[in-house]
Amino acid sequence: FTWTMTVTSQIDLSANHQRGLAVGINEAMGYIAVGAAGLATGYLAVLYGPRWSLLVFGLVVIALALVLLLWIKDTIYWVRAEHTQQEADNPAAAPAQSM
């Protein structure tokens, strides 16, 4: 779910012609991060045992996520600004249907 939300926010923040690139970069960085986390926890498990290394790694990830929550901004403002700009550029277009 978190990875999906990062892709959604990348789409919100990028221009129409850059959305594919933004999603591609996001996917690549996500897979690199998963690989690095697996490698790090593997080395930690060998050094300190699997139980403690996974516990400490999980706690560090949770702490970093909580810290990032204070810094990350909601992207709905960019979405609204883009929709307003598109409506101003093309006033004849029919409004989008919401479900």
DSSP of the chain: -HHHHHHHHHHHHS-GGGHHHHHHHHHHHHHHHHHHHHHHHHHHHHHH-HHHHHHHHHHHHHHHHHHHHHH---SHHHHHHHHHHHHHH-TTSPPPPP-
Q: pLDDT tier at 88 (50, 70, 90 boundaries)?
A: confident
- In angstroms, how far is CA 17 from the centroid of its own chain? 19
Percentage of the chain beyond pLDDT 70 is: 90
Q: pLDDT tier at 95 (50, 70, 90 boundaries)?
A: low
- What does the pLDDT look like over 17-53, one tens digit per residue? 888 888 888 889 889 989 999 999 999 999 999 999 8
pLDDT greater than 90 at residue 13: no
Burial class (CB in 10 A: 0-12, 13-18, 19+), 29: exposed
Q: What is the pLDDT of residue 93?
A: 57
Q: What is the mean pLDDT of the chain?
A: 82
